[in-house]
Structure 1
Amino acid sequence: MKILYGVQATGNGHISRARAMGKYLTKAGVQVDYLFSGRPADQLFDMQQFGNYQLKRGLTFVTQNGKVNYWQSFWQAQIRTLQQDIKALDLSSYDLVLTDFEPVTAQAAKQQNKASFAIGHQYAFLHDIPMEHANLMSKLVFKHFAPAQYQLGLHWHHFNQPILPPIIDEAEHNAAVEANKVLVYLPFEDQQQVIAMLTPLSQYRFYLYGPGLSKAKLGHIHTHPPALQAFKADLASCSHVLSNAGFELISEALQLQKQIMVKPLHGQMEQESNALALQQLQLASRSNSLSTKIVANWLNTPANLNTVQYPNVASAICDWLLQDTPDSIAALSKSLWT
């Protein structure tokens, strides 16, 4: 079997899921080609696993100081280029297309009547799950941005819907958890403002990853540019995680039973809904703004460790895809949550 796997590259979570899925597809003898869109080539890192992948412009949202800038997003969108990329993508040599909310591969598969499967957190929003600030526009985006014949939504809970647990790219580790070590990942915030906010909290050691940062030690604050292995190691050994409300990092932190606080990206319905779900499930703390006092109060709160443990969803989906006649999505969902 030969598959084209389209991955939305605006966030690292989509890429992390592709890493996990790719391992099992390759192990099963599937030939997989990858197409990424939504981020310039010089902003991608640790991509060796994906071989000679394609890169397209796609579509993305522009963020500034923790908020979505819809005006800049509109002006930077190149719809004509997107349409040309969709039309030029030849799918004749592939048996099926996988898409993780990637529009070029999804729309090309639709136009060429190619078998297509979608896997990702965004597809959970096609069901009745906790949502905050949902409107007609957001619902249309989730439905039509990267559609497929079969759509597998992922979430931290089933909410009595046919959705699946998270796909987690777990790294092998034997790291002991270090008290007062805090992993900080707030890529949509001004990194210098984050450093200033954390500076007074000298009783904690912060490991801050973000765009534009260099590897440095500023007293009790360790800064680091985006990097896969170092980030995984610090995630494994930290006691607390402070981040925006993206899906994949929170999934990994839950699996590792970390104390979590999220600051959702303002104006981004998906992140605000993620934060709402975490509150309802009592899996993390939430703050719509950040300050030294807010972070200190969270860090000083007694630990309330969750007991979440998710199954190997990537392996299960791979087996399901390669069946001659796959069971229904509802059956797959039930088996995984059981």
Structure 2
Amino acid sequence: MRILYGVQATGNGHITRARVLLPALQAAGVEVDVLLSGRAPQQLFNMECFGRFEARQGFTFVTSAGRVSWLKTLAQSRPLEFLHDYRQLDLSRYDLVLSDFEPVTAWAARHQGVPSLGVAHQYAFHHPIPGTGFKPWLKPSLKLFAPVDEAVGVHWHHFDAPILPPLIAPPSYPLSEEPDKILVYLPFESMDEVIYWLGAFPRYRFRIYCNIATPQRRGHLELQPFSREGFQRDLCSCAGVISNAGFGLCSEAIQAGKKLLVKPLHSQVEQRSNAVVLEQMALAMTMSELTLESVEAWLAQPSGSPSPWPDVATALAQWIASGRQQPLDALGRELWQQGQIRQFSSCQARLRQPLL
């Protein structure tokens, strides 16, 4: 079996998922080629595990000061280049296109009649998810962006739908806790504002990962360039994580038992919904703006406990390699029964309530 794996590279969450699923597919005997879109190749880091991969422009959202800028997003989109890319992509060698919400490969599969499968957090929103409110355009827009024949969504709860747990690797380092160490990843926010607000808490060491070339120290603020290995080491040893409400990092923090403070992107339905679910499941504290009161209240909260996720990647890879003969809902039941469903079932009644 040969697969073309399309990965949306706008955020690191999609790439984090691919880092886990790709070797699982290869271990299941599948030949996999990778195509990434949504970010310039020179902006990617620690990509050795993907070997040689193709890159395309694709589509991405432009953010500014913690919110999606729709005007800038439209201005930087290149629809003619996208049309050329997906029509010229040769899929004749592949049995299946696997898309992690990546539009070039998804549309190429649709155009050429090649079977396609989607695996991404966004595909969970094909089902009713708390925090989305009444948005009749949401499901059609998701299908338009990266259409697939069959969609597999992942989330922190199944919501009585065929949704799988997150695809997250076990912690890379032994779990510990340095009580004064806080990991910060807010790539969509104004870094000057982040530094200003966190400067008010000198009793804590804030390890801030941001777009810089070399490490910098500003008193108790430690600025670090993007590094997958360094970030994972700090995640395993910190007392808590301050981040936007992206799915991948929050899933890793939950698994490691780190308390979470999240600020969802404005005008981004996925992150708003994630924040609602996290708060209702008592997995995080949320804030609409970065304020002294929010950070101070969160810092006073106790740490959580590690909650390992099931080995979704291996189960999913074997399911794909065997031709997807088992119904998806049956696969989901098996995975949720491996522990996490007991932790989340007490929240089920609340999670069914209409929100926003």
Sort the TM-score into its range (normalised by shorter chain): over 0.9
Supply the distance in 2 between the matched residues of 1:73 and 1:35 (Cα, whole angstroms). 22
Q: 1:167 to 1:183 in 2, by over 3 A?
A: same
Match of 1:162 in 2: 162
Whether the aligned pair in 2 keeps the contact of 1:123 and 1:142 (CA below 8 Å) is yes
Cα shift at 1:197: 1.1
Whether the aligned pair in 2 keeps the contact of 1:5 and 1:97 (CA below 8 Å) is yes
Supply the distance in 1 between the matched residues of 2:133 and 2:281 (Cα, whole angstroms). 19
Whether the aligned pair in 2 keeps the contact of 1:180 and 1:205 (CA below 8 Å) is yes
Secondary structure of residue in 2 paired with 1:179: coil
Q: 1:291 to 1:163 in 2, by over 3 A?
A: same
Supply the distance in 2 between the matched residues of 1:313 and 1:79 (Cα, whole angstroms). 35
Match of 1:67 in 2: 67
Cα shift at 1:133: 5.3
Q: 1:307 to 1:227 in 2, by over 3 A?
A: closer
Cα shift at 1:143: 2.0
Supply the distance in 1 between the matched residues of 2:204 and 2:95 (Cα, whole angstroms). 52
Match of 2:109 in 1: 109
Alignment deviations for residues 267-322 of structure 1 (CA, whole Å, 9 cap, x no partner): 00100010011112111100001123321221013x16256332011111001111
Q: 1:134 to 1:197 in 2, by over 3 A?
A: farther
Cα shift at 1:141: 2.0
Cα shift at 1:84: 0.5
Q: 1:304 to 1:274 in 2, by over 3 A?
A: same
Match of 2:130 in 1: 130
Cα shift at 1:40: 1.0
Note the residue ranges of structure 2 that are not aligned, 5 or more in a row: 338-356
Supply the distance in 2 between the matched residues of 1:49 and 1:309 (Cα, whole angstroms). 23
Supply the distance in 2 between the matched residues of 1:298 and 1:325 (Cα, whole angstroms). 43
How many residue pairs are counted as aligned between the two chains?
Answer: 337
Supply the distance in 2 between the matched residues of 1:95 and 1:66 (Cα, whole angstroms). 40
Q: 1:256 to 1:73 in 2, by over 3 A?
A: same
Whether the aligned pair in 2 keeps the contact of 1:16 and 1:248 (CA below 8 Å) is yes
Supply the distance in 2 between the matched residues of 1:175 and 1:135 (Cα, whole angstroms). 40
Supply the distance in 1 between the matched residues of 2:283 and 2:101 (Cα, whole angstroms). 25
Between 181-190 and 164-173, the greater mean CA deviation after superposition? 164-173
AA at the equivalent of 1:70: W
Cα shift at 1:210: 1.6
Whether the aligned pair in 1 keeps the contact of 2:109 and 2:115 (CA below 8 Å) is yes
AA at the equivalent of 2:284: A
Match of 2:50 in 1: 50
Supply the distance in 1 between the matched residues of 2:303 and 2:61 (Cα, whole angstroms). 35
Between 215-224 and 304-313, the greater mean CA deviation after superposition? 304-313
Supply the distance in 1 between the matched residues of 2:306 and 2:221 (Cα, whole angstroms). 29
Match of 2:206 in 1: 206
Alignment deviations for residues 192-240 of structure 1 (CA, whole Å, 9 cap, x no partner): 2111111121111111012246312222111111110000000011110
Secondary structure of residue in 1 paired with 2:159: coil
Sequence identity (%): 45
Whether the aligned pair in 2 keeps the contact of 1:236 and 1:256 (CA below 8 Å) is yes
Secondary structure of residue in 1 paired with 2:128: coil
Q: 1:271 to 1:213 in 2, by over 3 A?
A: farther
Match of 2:217 in 1: 217
Superposed CA RMSD: 1.4
Supply the distance in 1 between the matched residues of 2:238 and 2:186 (Cα, whole angstroms). 16
Whether the aligned pair in 2 keeps the contact of 1:210 and 1:226 (CA below 8 Å) is yes
Secondary structure of residue in 2 paired with 1:104: helix
Match of 1:246 in 2: 246
Between 127-136 and 254-263, the greater mean CA deviation after superposition? 127-136
Secondary structure of residue in 2 paired with 1:33: strand
Between 141-150 and 97-106, the greater mean CA deviation after superposition? 141-150
Match of 2:341 in 1: none
Structural mapping, 1:77-92, within 5 Å:
77-92=77-92
2:150 is the counterpart of 1:146: no
Q: 1:325 to 1:103 in 2, by over 3 A?
A: closer
Whether the aligned pair in 2 keeps the contact of 1:134 and 1:269 (CA below 8 Å) is no
Secondary structure of residue in 1 paired with 2:260: strand
Supply the distance in 2 between the matched residues of 1:316 and 1:252 (Cα, whole angstroms). 19
* Misfit runs of 4+, over 6 Å: none
2:4 is the counterpart of 1:4: yes
Supply the distance in 2 between the matched residues of 1:122 and 1:168 (Cα, whole angstroms). 16
Whether the aligned pair in 2 keeps the contact of 1:213 and 1:223 (CA below 8 Å) is no
Q: 1:176 to 1:161 in 2, by over 3 A?
A: same
AA at the equivalent of 1:159: F
Supply the distance in 2 between the matched residues of 1:297 and 1:284 (Cα, whole angstroms). 12
Whether the aligned pair in 2 keeps the contact of 1:5 and 1:98 (CA below 8 Å) is yes
Supply the distance in 1 between the matched residues of 2:91 and 2:84 (Cα, whole angstroms). 15
Match of 2:266 in 1: 266
Q: 1:195 to 1:162 in 2, by over 3 A?
A: same
Whether the aligned pair in 1 keeps the contact of 2:172 and 2:233 (CA below 8 Å) is no
Supply the distance in 2 between the matched residues of 1:91 and 1:332 (Cα, whole angstroms). 28
Cα shift at 1:142: 1.4
Note the residue ranges of structure 1 that are not aligned, 5 or more in a row: none
